[in-house]
Structure 1
Amino acid sequence: MAEPSIIPYWRSCVVIRKISIGLFCVFFFVTLTACKLGVSHEPAPETVKNASTGFSNKALTIAVFEGAYGKSYWEEVVKRFEADYPGVRVNIIANPKIMDVIKPMNIAGNPPDFLYAPFTESTNMVRSMIGSRSFMDLTGLFDSPALGQDVPLKGIMMDGILDYARPYGDGKVYMAPNYVTTEGLWYNKALFKEKGWSPPRTWDEFWALGEAASTEGIALFTYPGVYPGYIGSMLWSSIASESGVAGVEAIMNYEKGSFGTPEVKRVLELFEKMADSGALMPGTVALNHTQAQSEFLKNKALFIPNGSWLEGEMKDISRAEGFEFGFLLTPTFEPDDPQFARISFEAMFIPEKAKNKELAMEFIKYQYRDDIIRLNAEKSTGVIAVRSGAELAKDSLPASVYDSATVFERGVQPFLFEWRVTPPTPFSINDEVFNPINTVMKGDMSVDQWIDHVEKTFARLRDLLDKVK
């Protein structure tokens, strides 16, 4: 059963919130540190000696998703943890399909002690486990002291991030935020310099650029057709720019007609135009994320929607000579329209039936130590959601990720998009919204049909919600 959301109604109505630019500069300077490899590791001044004293169970099993951030960080942090906690032995399970791997363990009532997996993993098991309250309450963990500091763990976290770690509306924290990112469009800055092109601010400039690129044999746009949810990196920010915060909140809450307003329809028609004008890179709908991104790196398309993990994820993939990642905010219809950028985070969990919760909590705390945050940036190109993240990893900032952060200093508004929670459903709301994009791109579905499909899905979800009132 798929869970459409992990975010409850009490918060979904205010998920796009007014937070000071200063706080979001902190957030995104943290994100900036994600993507440069090879930084020398500094010795940890707060290394704990004989820290395992008091842990009766010194065996810890951790399960981690091996995705864009890889697994080398987890392998190294396990070595550090075992060295700092003498006698502790950590069994690490890392796999791109980690939820499939641990499913038999969960069914047998013997889950791992610690889990890192993104909310968007393909099985929807993380969302389902949240929906069935299968994870441990971590409120006490965040109230307890941070390692090596005289403040509670929650006191070192990025401002406001724990608000998004309370899925049930009871004020309790059930997930530990780690990787943070910003999303938008990405392009090759070197190619633009070579051709004398300027990044587009408006959609008219976007289309004009597509015409110029077509004379060079380059498509305007591509995306991972096998995973069309990547379009969310630009769709929601486009709708926010056109319809305002209220329009996006209405969609998040499945309000009747919210996906078919004139403002939203205007945005959806951009994709129809992309198909009709031949701007889409041929073969896009059959490509997975790695394939689409690889073609993008070869200058087969000017733009691809993605997050700030992209440069690190593709670090070992061949590309056009001199390729230079660039970040672009989603264009707007008018040059003075407000611009938005979607932000997101991933999380760590402790299953409710874990055998060694005590040591698992210590392992989570360990992730927030200064030296470990540096290690994370070095090994995974990821960065943790703490206030000091920018300073700790500032030497790891690639230009593209820096650009994705500094937009918030120029009045761009950050937001998180999360669906209102519903009872379990046999479908995924993200699939219902994004899968039709491929059909639209192939010319087999109109925007009106896309809207009708989503509105019918919204009606089903409203009916479910009415039954549990």
Structure 2
Amino acid sequence: MGSTSGHSSSENAGSNSAGVGRRDLIKRSAALGLIAVPTMGFLSACATGGGGGNENKETKAPGKTSAKNPLGVEKGAPLEAFIFKGGLGDQYAKDAEADYGKTYGVTVKHTGTQQVGPKLTPRFAGGNPPDVIDNSGADHLDMNKLSTQGQLQDLNALLEAASIDDASKKVKDTIHPSTIEKGKHGDVFDVLYYAFTIYGTWYSQKLLDDKGWEYPKTLDDMVKLCGEIKKEGIAPWTYAGKYPYYVHFNLFAQIAKIGGMDGWIAIDNLEPNAWTSNDAVKQVVEHYEELAAKKYFLQGSQGLTHIQSQTAWNKGKAVFIPNGSWVENESAPTTPKDFGMAVGALFDGGSGDKMPHGTLRGEPSEPYIVASKGKNPEGGMELLRIMLSKKHAQNFATKVKSLTCVVGATDGMTLSPGLASASKVFKEAGENLISLQLQEWYPALTDEKIGGLTSQLLTGDLKAADWIKKTQAYCDAVAKDDSVKKFKRTA
């Protein structure tokens, strides 16, 4: 997802009193408590974080600043970058590093890897971390722990620095506001989510056009269309059954769309009866129960990885797949040239929906951090400032077919089909964007516990009522578990 393979997993209109972290696929634990260990295997680009304190936060005083060097970067000082190399690759980062090198007279030491946590845990413990890190993938570092330990650089200086494209604008004025909310631990902004992921129901526009089908507007319309699709000998849906939390990208957001953000925030906050008392939960989970009962999922989907399900979808074995906007780049090797990859917004549940038609789940993703105890934190922030220029935001869009947090960076560009579609629904949604935290804050809960229930739901082995009852029980257990750090969201 934004990252798992480079997706960007991951993406935030909400604020959070405890600080917000990011993404979706992972179980935290392991060596020194810094690594988030994968529970279900590798996903390309998702990442997570969370809230926490900032005790013992250490920052270094900048060197001499100037209009062109607002962060006081020392020329000739070495800089080391550690970049997650998944579905997004790492060439976009190398391109930014090259520009950094030209300006500051150094060759950036670059490492591209899918094992950020295992490789960097001992370095953080030893006091010699790299300067800037793309902390994504299943084996990412636990940013809650790092922030609490004072290992993350306060990035406020970056936000207040002049943007590269327009010295009259600060960096903070060029990026999506949710990027700042998402990147805070407490009151400190210490994570830059560089990408912006659009989640939704993905499909082939060519296939719909060829068959005379229209993307459904409502849940009922979807069920009707699935019936027509099945008659044509095609499976309506497939999904990454090995990682059923992919289905949550849509299922959770659909609940928030119909029931409203207040109801979802109660779920994020692990409030009693948050699932069982929310009518939208019942409506949405029963919708999935119906899809399963009518056998609208590709046979065998429960055993597929994210790559295998995307390949089946690309080959026309299924019409729809729940995913994030990293899917275009990740599935490119098997996508037909005329596929017409597209993404649709969330479905309407009925006239009582709390959020309007066109509402979309879109969130910042791909977390970049700067090590406060690295040798060159100013240089790390400067590399991020370069990446936040229009030039490099556009380079990212071109190379990996994904949006960045830089507002309007792709305006006027010729975009790939999937990215063009994601950009279109993003603009149409306006402020009706949904950002969720449960999967970010409590990945073991959502990805293992609830994910296991979802797997049973989609194979028809669990009824909706039991899914809801057991999900509430799992959440209640976490709420009562003092060993699990809790977070609270207010909006």
**Shift, 1:175, TM fit:** 1.2
Q: 2:423 aligns with which of 395, 405, 413?
A: 405
Greater displacement, 359-368 / 381-390: 381-390
Greater displacement, 337-346 / 289-298: 337-346
Q: 1:454 aligns with which of 453, 465, 471?
A: 471
CA distances 1:53-96 after superposition (whole Å, capped 9, x unpaired):
9616622111111122112212222223222322x121111122
Alignment of 1:458-469 (within 5 A): 458-464=475-481
Letter in 2 for 1:155: D
**Is the alpha carbon distance of 1:110 and 1:181 closer, same or farther for their aligned partners in structure 2, counting shifts above 3 Å?**
same
- The structure where helix makes up a greater share of residues is 1
Q: Do 1:309 and 1:381's aligned partners in 2 also have CA atoms closer than 8 Å? A: yes
Q: 1:144 aligns with which of 161, 165, 170?
A: 161
Structure 2 unmatched runs, 5+: 1-10, 21-66, 487-491
Greater displacement, 102-111 / 250-259: 102-111
Superposition TM-score, scaled by structure 2 size: 0.77
**Shift, 1:466, TM fit:** 11
Letter in 1 for 2:303: A
Letter in 2 for 1:152: K
**Is the alpha carbon distance of 1:129 and 1:433 closer, same or farther for their aligned partners in structure 2, counting shifts above 3 Å?**
farther
Counterpart for residue 372 of structure 1: 392
Counterpart for residue 167 of structure 1: 185
Counterpart for residue 10 of structure 1: 17
Letter in 2 for 1:317: T
Q: Do 2:401 and 2:418's aligned partners in 1 also have CA atoms closer than 8 Å? A: no
Structure 1 CA distance for aligned equivalents of residues 99 and 313 of structure 2? 37
**Is the alpha carbon distance of 1:420 and 1:336 closer, same or farther for their aligned partners in structure 2, counting shifts above 3 Å?**
closer
Counterpart for residue 116 of structure 1: 134
Structure 1 CA distance for aligned equivalents of residues 86 and 127 of structure 2? 26
Q: Is 1:266 aligned to residue 278 of structure 2?
A: no
Counterpart for residue 267 of structure 2: 251
Q: Do 2:74 and 2:104's aligned partners in 1 also have CA atoms closer than 8 Å? A: no
Q: Do 2:200 and 2:345's aligned partners in 1 also have CA atoms closer than 8 Å? A: yes
Q: 2:199 aligns with which of 183, 204, 211?
A: 183
SS at match of 2:284: helix
Counterpart for residue 31 of structure 1: none
SS at match of 2:322: strand
Structure 2 CA distance for aligned equivalents of residues 124 and 271 of structure 1? 34
Q: Do 2:71 and 2:161's aligned partners in 1 also have CA atoms closer than 8 Å? A: no
Structure 2 CA distance for aligned equivalents of residues 331 and 50 of structure 1? 47
Q: Do 1:202 and 1:332's aligned partners in 2 also have CA atoms closer than 8 Å? A: yes
Greater displacement, 441-450 / 200-209: 441-450
- Identical-pair percentage: 23
Counterpart for residue 314 of structure 1: 331
**Shift, 1:236, TM fit:** 2.4
**Is the alpha carbon distance of 1:436 and 1:402 closer, same or farther for their aligned partners in structure 2, counting shifts above 3 Å?**
same
Counterpart for residue 301 of structure 1: 318
CA distances 1:160-189 after superposition (whole Å, capped 9, x unpaired):
431222221x2x211123111221101111
**Is the alpha carbon distance of 1:173 and 1:93 closer, same or farther for their aligned partners in structure 2, counting shifts above 3 Å?**
same
Q: 2:245 aligns with which of 224, 229, 251?
A: 229
CA distances 1:298-324 after superposition (whole Å, capped 9, x unpaired):
1111100112232232223243x7321
**Shift, 1:447, TM fit:** 2.7
Aligned length: 423
Letter in 2 for 1:95: T
**Is the alpha carbon distance of 1:224 and 1:373 closer, same or farther for their aligned partners in structure 2, counting shifts above 3 Å?**
same
Counterpart for residue 361 of structure 1: 381
**Shift, 1:190, TM fit:** 0.9
**Shift, 1:226, TM fit:** 1.9
Structure 1 CA distance for aligned equivalents of residues 341 and 191 of structure 2? 32
Counterpart for residue 20 of structure 1: none
SS at match of 2:339: coil
Q: Do 2:398 and 2:415's aligned partners in 1 also have CA atoms closer than 8 Å? A: no
**Shift, 1:198, TM fit:** 1.5
Counterpart for residue 35 of structure 1: none
Q: Do 1:8 and 1:420's aligned partners in 2 also have CA atoms closer than 8 Å? A: no
CA distances 1:31-61 after superposition (whole Å, capped 9, x unpaired):
xxxxxxxxxxxxxxxxx99999961662211
Letter in 2 for 1:358: E
CA distances 1:418-443 after superposition (whole Å, capped 9, x unpaired):
13997xx8944443333321122233
Q: Is 1:332 aligned to residue 339 of structure 2?
A: no
**Shift, 1:363, TM fit:** 1.2
Counterpart for residue 29 of structure 2: none
Q: Is 1:352 aligned to residue 372 of structure 2?
A: yes
SS at match of 1:177: strand
SS at match of 1:75: helix
Alignment of 1:46-65 (within 5 A): 55=74, 58-65=77-84
Q: Do 2:256 and 2:264's aligned partners in 1 also have CA atoms closer than 8 Å? A: yes
**Is the alpha carbon distance of 1:398 and 1:284 closer, same or farther for their aligned partners in structure 2, counting shifts above 3 Å?**
same
Alpha carbon RMSD of aligned pairs, Å? Answer: 3.4
Q: Do 1:49 and 1:84's aligned partners in 2 also have CA atoms closer than 8 Å? A: no
Q: Do 1:8 and 1:421's aligned partners in 2 also have CA atoms closer than 8 Å? A: no
**Is the alpha carbon distance of 1:429 and 1:219 closer, same or farther for their aligned partners in structure 2, counting shifts above 3 Å?**
closer
Structure 2 CA distance for aligned equivalents of residues 307 and 219 of structure 1? 20
